């Protein structure tokens, strides 16, 4: 089935003023302005029902911090899903440091679909019952703790949007291909020919394309082995040119 509507992201947050933020400039911003993708940012607080518009409460069983209420978040999700022109079936993500780590292959899947609904967590967490009742897929962007899911959501959307048809130029496409082979990028150089006494590696100005290609591959492999043993295992265990992570 061809998808005629543009890729769409719905973001549920307590800080709607953080959007589009960085997504409003550069590649993603141009694509947003030209309608390649659309963004619906919603304030979770709008779903609060009490006089104080409260969205959080103290954790059951005690402990520090506050927990996002299940009823309020469920109402926010349901209202977002009831908005006109929303994809009927779409991934529902919850940005959280305890989520499954985001990978380029998951980014590719999300970019190929209609676009996700993304909940940005805050406080000490989100009531487990709404995570289950609304089938939220927890996603982490790395093993460190941000003060909320907004920056993580921006990172995820940016990674998806650059893959949408017509968003990337040739240069960016090439770097995507390289990562999809489980290898880190080789080092790059440009003019001037000498910088603080350091020349550009001889081979790169030799004009021998085959030699340049094999030098770059060797550099990529050495870098990957040294910095990312996890990627190196994937690369080594897959037939050359077939790895996707």
Exactly one of 91, 115, 116, 149 binds ligand ADE (CB under 6 A); that residue is 149
63 lies in the binding site for ligand ADE (CB under 6 A):
no
Q: Which CB, 97 or 114, lies closer to ligand ADE?
A: 97
Those residues with Cβ within 8 angstroms of residue 77's Cβ, 6 or more apart along the chain or in another chain: 12, 92, 117, 119, 130, 134
140 lies in the binding site for ligand ADE (CB under 6 A):
yes
Q: Pick the closest to residue 93 from 147, 149, 49 (CA basis).
A: 149
Exactly one of 80, 119, 152, 159 binds ligand ADE (CB under 6 A); that residue is 152
Q: Which CB, 155 or 183, lies closer to ligand ADE?
A: 155
Those residues with Cβ within 8 angstroms of residue 146's Cβ, 6 or more apart along the chain or in another chain: 97, 152
Count CB atoms within 10 A of the CB of residue 223: 17
95 lies in the binding site for ligand ADE (CB under 6 A):
yes
Stretch that binds ligand ADE, among 16-24, 81-89, 95-103, 187-195 (CB under 6 A): 95-103
209-227 vs 229-237: helix crossing angle, rounded to 10? 130
How far apart CA 44 and CA 101 sit, in angstroms, is: 25
Q: How far is the CB of 146 from ligand ADE (least distance, A)?
A: 4
Exactly one of 117, 130, 141, 161 binds ligand ADE (CB under 6 A); that residue is 141
Alpha-carbon separation of residue 56 from 19, 127, 174 (angstroms): 22, 9, 45
Please give the residue whose beta carbon sits closest to ligand ADE in the complex: 152
144 lies in the binding site for ligand ADE (CB under 6 A):
yes
- Phi, psi for residue 96 in degrees, rounded to 5: -160, 140
125 lies in the binding site for ligand ADE (CB under 6 A):
no
100 lies in the binding site for ligand ADE (CB under 6 A):
no
Q: How far is the CB of 92 from ligand ADE (least distance, A)?
A: 15
Beta-ladder partners of 13: 43
- The answer to whether residues 54 and 84 touch, using CB atoms and an 8 Å cutoff, is no
Q: Which CB, 142 or 199, lies closer to ligand ADE?
A: 142
Q: How far is the CB of 239 from ligand ADE (least distance, A)?
A: 33
The alpha helices in the chain, defined as continuous H runs, are 26-33, 70-82, 104-112, 128-133, 150-161, 170-179, 209-227, 229-237
How far apart CA 28 and CA 160 sit, in angstroms, is: 9
Exactly one of 24, 142, 187, 199 binds ligand ADE (CB under 6 A); that residue is 142
160 lies in the binding site for ligand ADE (CB under 6 A):
no
Stretch that binds ligand ADE, among 90-98, 106-114, 211-219, 221-229 (CB under 6 A): 90-98
Residues that bind ligand ADE (CB under 6 A): 95-97, 121, 140-142, 144-146, 148-149, 152
């Amino acid at each position: 089935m061809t998808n005629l509507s543009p890729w769409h992201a719905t973001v549920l947050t307590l800080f709607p003023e953080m959007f589009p933020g960085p997504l409003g400039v550069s590649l993603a911003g141009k694509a947003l302005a030209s309608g390649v993708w659309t963004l619906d940012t919603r304030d979770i607080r709008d779903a609060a029902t009490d006089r104080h518009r409260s969205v959080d409460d103290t954790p059951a069983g005690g402990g520090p911090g506050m927990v996002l209420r299940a009823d309020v978040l469920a109402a926010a999700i349901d209202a977002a899903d009831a908005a006109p022109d929303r994809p009927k079936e779409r991934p529902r993500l919850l940005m959280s440091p305890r989520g499954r780590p985001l990978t380029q292959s998951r980014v590719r899947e999300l970019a190929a679909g209609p676009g996700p609904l993304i909940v940005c967590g805050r406080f000490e967490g989100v009531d487990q019952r709404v995570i289950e009742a609304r089938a939220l897929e927890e996603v982490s962007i790395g093993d460190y703790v941000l003060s909320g899911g907004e920056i993580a959501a921006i990172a995820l959307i940016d990674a998806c949007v650059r893959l949408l048809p017509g968003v990337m130029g040739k240069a960016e496409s090439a770097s995507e291909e390289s990562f999809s082979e489980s290898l880190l990028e080789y080092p790059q150089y440009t003019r001037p020919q000498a910088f603080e006494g350091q020349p550009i590696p001889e081979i790169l100005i030799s004009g021998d394309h085959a030699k340049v290609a094999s030098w770059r591959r060797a550099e990529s492999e050495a870098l990957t082995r040294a910095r990312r043993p996890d990627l190196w295992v994937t690369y080594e265990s897959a037939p050359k040119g077939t790895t996707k992570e």
